[in-house]
Structures are given as C-alpha cells and as structure tokens.
Homo-oligomer: A and B are copies of this chain.
C-alpha cells in the first residue's frame, strides 16, 4: 500500500503509473476538499474545449492529476482569472490566435484550456527552479497558456513572478496583464508627451477596463482625458457612471450622442484652450461611425489606436483625415505585444501594481464566479458566455476557492 494511498472520497493516484497521471478524474468518485496527496500529486480541474463554438456548448470540465514538479517545472494553483472578450472569441474560433489543442491533460479529444490571463500561487517547484518558491504569486508571461483551471503544471520560464505582493489582492494582480497593460502601452507608445498637464487624449468605451485604466494613468501622468461612453436611457444611471469616471480622474465625460452632436467642436475647442492644448492620441474600441467621430477631434499628425470593435463596423476613413490632417491609424494587440516584449511587460505590470499598491489604481467592477471543486460546468460556462453581452455590472472573473492543504 505504499504506492497507493486513499484520499478522502476514495480517489487513488498511482505514482508509479505515468499513464494515470493525466487520467480523467471523471472516472473517479469525487467528493473531497483535498487536492494534493502527500506524494505531491495534485488533483486539478480545467475548463476545456475540443472544438470551436459558443462557450455554453463546447466548454467542459476536465479533471486530471498533476505529478510533482521536476527540473524547472512549477505547479501553480490559480487564484483569480478574468474572462476577457478575447477569451470568448478564441473559444468561438473567430480569434486569430488559436491555442494548440492536445491530449496532454488526458482528454479523449485534443483539447485546449480556456483563458489567457490570471494570477496563481506557486505550490511546489522542481529541483532546478531558482527564481520561484512556494507561496510566490505569478502571472503568465505569454498568452495561450490556458488559465481557467484550478492548477497548472508549467515551466518556470513561462511565468512572471510578482516581486512584491504586499498590499495587493489576487483580483488586482490577476487582471493587470490585459486591460491595464493595454491602456498603459497605448497611451505611452503612440504619442510623445511633455507631461506638463496641458495635453489630452480622447477615448471611447471609457467605462471599459481599458478605459478606466487609461483615465487613471492619465491622471497620474498629467494627461487630461475626453471620455466617451454610450448614453443610457436612464439618465440617472448615466450621470452615476459619468460621476464614477470623474471620480477616477476623467477630465471630461461625454456620451456618443454628445460627441457626434454639432456643438462638440466648439466645446472641445474650449476645453483645449482654443486648440492650443493638443489631443495627442485617440483610443478606439468601438469603430464604425463613433470611431470616425472620435478621430475628428484628434490634433493633426496624431494617432488613433484601435484595440476593439464593439460596433462590429469598419472604420470608414475619409482620405482627407489621412492626407490633409495626417492622422495615423493603427491597432494594438496586447497578446502579440506581450509575447514580443516579455521584459517590457514585466516592467509595465510592476509599474501598474506599484500604482495599485499606492492606492492610485482603483479596482475594476467585477462579477465574480466562484470556482470550487464541485462547481458545475454550467455555472462556469455561463460566466464565460455572458461576457460578450451588452451592459454588465462588471468584468467576469473566476475566483478559486482554496482547495489545497
């Protein structure tokens, strides 16, 4: 009986049988709160898909066991993982970056684990791991690693260690890599700033995760902001949202209708002191007519960066904007940027977390989906499915119950 040890609930894992390491837990009766044996085997569950489609149709929970880490391997338990719109598009198969599907987790069909962002805590490390130890918090260095799982076996080289987690919550760290990084890089990399407090940026989707991050970064860096939100039928609600963004440091908040109204030209001229204060970058996640309307208020020669297309419409650019106003239009894809600039990503994350620690970066509103050992797949997939919906109270995040000893 030395090689087989009963777990609560009767689960047995054989250390001597590699074939069993990733054997689906679906074949075991599961009813216990411990996921790690004294031999170092970890019982994990992952939210996987084997074909593209709507999350509610294609996601399933796959149980498997993870062997003790060796060499540069690390076992991480996830703490908090957001559900980003790109994650959903990826499952739908409409995202250009497609994850590799394989049977490494012991699934019958080749499968991929959903999710790209999240924070985890190191549970155990292989003998040659130098930079990480038990208890460290880590974020993913690359995209496509599949974060929606209770535990992950991963090589040390694929993780960024959070150097100082003091004063930070898993939610703050787990949601730093995509939206705040996007806002940070778009603001810094597409304009040259004097940081004298007399420069502006303009953005739509201002109440999104990226939008809120941009407002706060602008406030910290002395960059004023014109923030466009979709108008609400309920004007009290609209004003409440405006006030919320003003509270984050927005200089001006307007609705799409106001942006496209005829008085806006004069209004923005007044805000920018007759145009002497330049609007130096535009952040666009809407596209279509609202996107073009946004570009109209950029100063000549500046750049509008597109990072989303919520309207699902192309950006119909009049040639005059390109030729005579010399505006530049480009896009930002945080996944490619992260994969191409892992060191810069680490710096960016660290800088944002420092602002967070100093209370300069407010938590985003979230809708938490608690993920325990017995959480049904329907609960998890509904949280994913709901992410592409219209107005939400907050960003969907999985928060993992502590299962380990």
Which residues of chain A have a CB within 8 Å of any CB of chain B? 96, 287, 306-309, 314-333, 336
Contact B326 A322, beta carbon cutoff 8 Å: no
In the complex where A96-B320, A320-B96 touch, is A326 in contact with B330 (Cβ < 8 A)?
A: yes
Q: A337 CB to closest chain B CB, in angstroms?
A: 9
Contact A324 B333, beta carbon cutoff 8 Å: yes
Bound-state Cα–Cα, A241 to B287, Å:
39
In the complex where A314-B317, A315-B317, A316-B315 touch, is A331 in contact with B336 (Cβ < 8 A)?
A: no
Contact A322 B316, beta carbon cutoff 8 Å: no
- Residues on B with C-beta less than 8 A from A320 are 96
Contact A330 B333, beta carbon cutoff 8 Å: no
Contact A322 B317, beta carbon cutoff 8 Å: no
User: Top 10 nearest A-B pairs by Cβ distance?
Assistant: A322-B331, A309-B319, A323-B331, A314-B316, A306-B322, A329-B329, A328-B330, A96-B324, A316-B316, A315-B317
In this complex, which of A324, A328, A329, A332 has the most chain B Cβ atoms within 10 angstroms of its Cβ? A329
Bound-state Cα–Cα, A31 to B121, Å:
96
Copies of this chain, count? 2
Contact B323 A307, beta carbon cutoff 8 Å: yes
Contact A315 B322, beta carbon cutoff 8 Å: yes
Q: Contacting A329 at CB < 8 Å: which of B325, B328, B333, B336? A: B328
Can you spell out 30 A-B residue pairs with CB atoms less than 8 angstroms apart? A96-B320, A96-B324, A287-B319, A306-B322, A306-B323, A309-B318, A309-B319, A314-B317, A314-B318, A314-B319, A315-B316, A315-B319, A316-B316, A316-B317, A317-B317, A319-B331, A321-B331, A322-B329, A323-B332, A323-B333, A324-B331, A324-B333, A324-B336, A325-B331, A326-B331, A326-B333, A327-B330, A328-B329, A328-B330, A329-B330
- Residues on B with C-beta less than 8 A from A333 are 323-324, 326
- Residues on B with C-beta less than 8 A from A323 are 306-309, 331-333
4 additional A-B residue pairs with CB within 8 Å, beyond A306-B323, A314-B318, A323-B332: A309-B318, A324-B333, A324-B336, A328-B328
- Residues on B with C-beta less than 8 A from A336 are 324, 326
Bound-state Cα–Cα, A314 to B319, Å:
6
Bound-state Cα–Cα, A385 to B122, Å:
75
Q: A178 CB to closest chain B CB, in angstroms?
A: 13
Q: A99 CB to closest chain B CB, in angstroms?
A: 15
- Residues on B with C-beta less than 8 A from A328 are 328-330
